Amino acid sequence: MRAVQFSDYGPPSVVHVAEVAEPHAGAGEIRIAVRASGISAGETYFRSGRLRDVVPTTFPYRTGVEAAGVVDEVGDGVTGVGVGDEVFGLTDLATRGANADHAVLAAWAPKPAAWSWEEAGGAAGGVETATRVLDRLGVAAGHTVLVQGAAGGVGTIAVQLAVARGATVIGTASERNHDFLRSLGAEPTTYGPGLAGRVRAPAPEGVDAVFDCAGGALPDLIAIAGDAARVVTIADFAAAAHGVHMSQTALGGESGAAIGAVADPPALHGLGIAVALAGQGRLRVPVAAAFPLTEAAAAHELSETRHARGKIVLVN
């Protein structure tokens, strides 16, 4: 089968499609014929070599942690799903391999009828990440939350999940994305110098929590929150130096600690919440671009710009 991988550090051009052996579902797993899969922004850091000194990479590195497709194998002990069912979900984070013709999922949920394959293929990672961080921040009805980098793949999901919890959401993005953020339920503002003053207008009593999806602004975000403990980042590797928690599930042990990331338990319950919200028309997965599997390098190139509005996916 075809699978996307890279065999050395480098620019997006090192990403290629290779012919590899098909994986098979083990106990507690299912295999799907992939219809669409997401590009992980975090994997672009691994590919570039940015983290080579703290997170050793074994080559070839098979990419992709989220996918949607049709079940074609069911492992021992699995109930409630059968061959032919349409699902979306996550691979084992240690083995990855979602950007392929077939993928083994360790966690999954039924594909919402309201979502296209492209939306479902790019949903699971953002849903799990956003749920994990919002849970850690204790976001609930009546809270005000600032989402830094609200127009990206995780930010767009975080906005909607926070709104669904009853929170007021302020989201930072470039001005061209402000109407888009309003459509998701957020009050938009621009990022950059003077952010504290701009946030004060829609939130004169301050914010209860800050979810950083962009990185590079932790001192300002801490000042806005009033306490580093009320800020969680998924994107700033300087988090530990500022006393901020960096939430990751793909990293653990010594390698995760080296960049200030303590492995949090995955928030897999978020998949079921997403299905319910999608059925109510309250959660969509904005897709910035969809590329054929064979154009994975171009998808990585777009991801590295950090300007994509929503999720970047590969389609089979």
- pLDDT (mean) for 163-189: 98
CATH assignment, 127-263: 3.40.50.720
The CATH label, of 3.90.180.10, 1.10.10.1100, 3.40.50.150, 3.40.50.850, for the domain at 2-123+285-315 is 3.90.180.10
Helix, strand, coil distribution of the chain in percent, nearest 5:
35, 25, 40
- The mean pLDDT of the chain is 94
pLDDT score of 32 more than 50: yes
CB 15 within 8 A of CB 9: no
Dihedral, CA of residue 251, residue 305, residue 174 and residue 211, to nearest 10:
0
pLDDT the model gives residue 262:
61
Give the separation between CA 115 and CA 292, rounded to whole angstroms: 19
Q: Is 136 exposed, middle or buried (0-12, 13-18, 19+ CB in 10 A)?
A: middle
Residue 150, burial from CB neighbour count under 10 angstroms (0-12, 13-18, 19+): buried
- Residue 306's pLDDT band (cuts 50, 70, 90): confident
Residue 59: pLDDT above 50?
A: yes
- Read off the pTM: 0.95
- The structural domains of the chain, with segments of one domain joined by +, span 2-123+285-315, 127-263
Taking 50 as the threshold, does the pLDDT of residue 149 lie above it?
yes
Name the β-bridge partners of 312: 289
Give CA–CA dist 247/265, Å, rounded. 10
Residue 202's pLDDT is: 94
Instruction: Identify the bridge partners of residue 67 per DSSP, sorted by sequence position.
Output: 37, 89
Residue 257: the pLDDT is: 47
- What pLDDT is recorded for position 251? 39
pLDDT at 94: 86
Q: State the pLDDT at residue 213.
A: 97
Return the SS3 of 223.
helix
pLDDT, one tens digit per residue, over 260-302 is 456 788 999 999 999 999 999 999 999 999 999 999 999 999 9
Burial class (CB in 10 A: 0-12, 13-18, 19+), 113: exposed
